[in-house]
Structure 1
Amino acid sequence: MTTAFDPKAFRRALGNFATGVTVITATAKDGQQAGVTANSFNSVSLDPPLVLWSIMKNSGSVEIFDNASHFAVNVLAADQIDISNHFARPSDDKFSSIDYGKGLGDAPLLTDCAARFQCANYDKVDGGDHWILIGKVEAFDDYGRAPLLYHGGTYSAVVPHVGAAQKSAEADAAAAEQADADREKMLDNNLYYQMLSAVKRYQRGYWPMQQASGLRVAEAHLLMVLKDLGSVSFSAMVDYLLMPDQDLAPSVEKLKRKAWISVQDDNLTLTEEGAHQAEAYWQLSEDYQEKVFGDLTDEELAVFRKVLKKI
């Protein structure tokens, strides 16, 4: 047990509690805007719907939050580390280079978040060297994107727990064994059914790791295709990803906002940062491929590739 109270040690101990990362935003009545990175966000009550967060009393943004009718809690997604860092640094105008909309009380609403909560100022409580601000949620958006985490003084991401994955795998195996016993043998000899089953099993292990990075599957695949082929037209990308153009367009727009791709004359091209991100996704893909197929011989892999190409 640690008895001597060392503030730095206390901070490190608190770092063992993993939190999400948010950017809290507000606009005062005189039009001044504030945006601060905070991991102190938490729920308080369901009825009424209340949430809280805390801000240092000596922060230059306290007055703006005091004079705003509302504040917004922008829960960052796993690929928004740059946004977190941006709002954690002092700046005369934090919003000049940021894409955002306006919510209740003109509170800035950031794009591509995991979730957003628009809150009316409800109460302010003295909390030592911080003010605890309580908001009443009047509107919210749930985008279901993988969240950005903060743990042990560094950014992290959600990945399935090994124990949970093992239990899930065991349950799947038991269910599959029972299904085998219940169904007719015709399915065992149906190659199409076997291919679908194999793809689903592969995706079950790979997709959670890929999605933990914060990008949706189509967005990650778009980066990977561009890394492999170079510049690709929008129409050709529709064919590569096997998705309608109305579904591809939002992914293209998001990656443009992140400055990971550029679009000129309908051609999509990776930026330098986009290429760096694509390399990470390719490495993740190759690592998982090695995990699944690593015990096959070169001859077995050659036959497998031949069969896939024939299909």
Structure 2
Amino acid sequence: MTQSNLDPRALRSALGTFTTGVTIITTRAQDGTPVGLTANSFNSVSLEPPLVLWSLAKSALSVPVFTAAEHWNVHVLSMDQQELSNRFAAKGEDKFQGLMLDEGKTSAPLIGQCSARFQCRTAFVHDGGDHLIFIGEVLDFDHSELPPLVFQSGQYALTARKPREAVTLSDIQAPLDCCYTEDLLGYLLGRAHFQMMQKMQQELAKFGLGTAHFFALSVLSIQGKLDLAGLNAHISYTGHVLEHEHMQQLEQAALVNIEDEHYQLTQEGHQACLGQIAQAKAIEDDLVDEIGRGDVTALKLLLKRLIRQTDPGLPDLWSGR
């Protein structure tokens, strides 16, 4: 084989731009010891016959076990299994400790809670440069609605489904003109927020409360006890300002009490917050049903990045809990 002049590190970076799923491959050694590793080289080969492949570095300690194994399982990890991926990618630990396994068609370990699983028989093992390529016949498989964990450019990622409607890059990056467009990020964030808050108003209306009252109760449910300045420090990003009048209205509704100019929730206030949280979760559950758990999770992560990027220096709402 001829020697390549390509820069290995640059090649690895270029290959890393190809987004892949994350899998765990498992088998058993001849003495019955379970063996497993994390791999993102999994791919389909054929539907008829049903064949899949994955590759293993020749330098891997598990090469003798997998080359001798008749059966192995491929687990396409769900987005909640990042810790499991890290565990099976590490060396020198009992990767199966405390792990509940399902019963499979063969003795190869079968891990639960995955996006998909393929139970395979070794069909061929081919030389692939510094790797061995394992091709397996699929004996059985199953899959779930759990969104998959993916890997891109050296880090974990989540998938988000593209809308069926055609959206081109020019649509998103169109030149600015003198009017708002429906692709303006601020408009999209604002409209989504207000449409969700509109549903929250149904719960607030039970107590004759407005948005400012909602912010006060929410902050107190997290922080426990604050004065008016402390409350306003936490909600300054909303554009609302809590006045003594707002807090008096909450006192009259028996939702808060005041001690040494510090406000805290009453038992009725805690119950009101539980109702608001239940309503917020119901709204979120409806979104999950409509657009999928994976897309909602990806949206949350993007919003957290946006919040960190635009944070004007607000106090940490969840500190000291």
TM band (smaller chain): 0.5 to 0.7
Uncovered stretches (5+) of structure 1, i.e. residues with no partner: 171-198, 204-226, 229-235, 243-277, 289-311
SS of aligned partner of 1:64: helix
Q: Which residue of 2 aligns with 1:262?
A: none
Q: Percent identity?
A: 43
Which residue of 2 is the match for residue 155 of structure 1?
156
Task: For 2:80 and 2:65, locate their aligned partners in 1 and report how far apart those are by CA, in whole Å.
Answer: 28
Equivalent residue for 1:269? none
Q: Which residue of 2 aligns with 1:185?
A: none
Alignment match, 2:80: 79
Q: Give 1:73 deviation, angstroms.
A: 0.3
> Which amino acid is the alignment partner of residue 90 of structure 1?
K
Counterpart secondary structure, 1:104: coil
TM-superposed deviation, 1:31: 0.2
Q: 1:283: how far off?
A: 9.1
Structural mapping, 1:81-120, within 5 Å: 81-120=82-121
Closer, same or farther in 2 for the Cα pair 1:160/1:282, shift >3 Å? closer
| AA in 1 matched with 2:66 | F
Q: Take 1:29 and 1:104, find their aligned partners in 2: how far apart are those partners? A: 17
SS in 1 for 2:79: coil
After TM superposition, give the deviation of residue 21 of structure 1 in Å. Answer: 0.5
> Take 2:127 and 2:22, find their aligned partners in 1: how far apart are those partners?
22
Alignment of 1:3-152 (within 5 A): 4-152=5-153
Q: Contact between 1:55 and 1:131, CA under 8 Å: does it hold in 2? A: yes
Q: Deviations over 1:219-257 (max 9, x none)?
A: xxxxxxxx97xxxxxxx99x9577xxxxxxxxxxxxxxx
Alpha-carbon contact 1:28-1:69 (below 8 Å) kept: no
- CA distance, structure 1, for counterparts of residue 73 and residue 105 of structure 2: 8
Q: Which amino acid aligns with 1:46?
A: L
- Please state how far the C-alpha of 1:105 moved relative to its aligned partner: 2.5
- The structural deviation recorded for 1:110 is 1.3
Number of positions where the alignment pairs a residue of Structure 1 with one of Structure 2: 194
- Distance in 1 (CA, whole Å) between partners of 2:28 and 2:134 is 15
* Offset, 1:102: 3.7
Contact between 1:70 and 1:104, CA under 8 Å: does it hold in 2? no
Residue by residue, what CA displacement relative to the aligned partner does 1:188-231 show, whole Å, maximum 9, x if unpaired? xxxxxxxxxxx9xx79xxxxxxxxxxxxxxxxxxxxxxx97xxx
Matched residues in 2 for 1:14 and 1:117: separation?
25
Shift in Å, 1:68:
2.2
RMSD (Å), alpha carbons: 3.9
Partner-residue secondary structure (3-state), 2:120: strand
Give 1:34 deviation, angstroms: 1.1
- CA deviations on 1:9-29 (whole Å, 9 max, x unpaired) are 110010111100000001133
**After the TM superposition, which segments of 4 or more aligned residues of structure 1 sit over 4 Å from their partners?**
162-167, 239-242, 280-285
Q: CA deviation at 1:163?
A: 8.2
**TM-score of the superposed pair, with normalisation by structure 1:** 0.53
Aligned partner of 2:217 in structure 1 is: none
Deviations 1:51-87 (A, max 9, x none): 0000011211112212322100000011211111110
Q: Distance in 2 between matches of 1:126 and 1:4?
A: 21
1:246 corresponds to: none
1:69–1:120: 8 Å Cα contact kept in structure 2? yes
**More helix by percentage:** 1
TM-score in terms of structure 2 length: 0.52
1:33–1:64 Cα contact (<8 Å) kept: no
CA–CA distance in structure 2, aligned partners of residues 6 and 21 of structure 1:
25
State the one-letter code of the partner of 2:61: G
Q: 1:92 offset after TM fit, Å?
A: 4.0
Q: Distance in 1 between matches of 2:15 and 2:302?
A: 33
Give 1:170-189 correspondences, 5 Å limit.
none
Residue pairs, 1:211-226, within 5 angstroms: none
Is the radius of gyration larger for structure 1 or structure 2?
A: 2
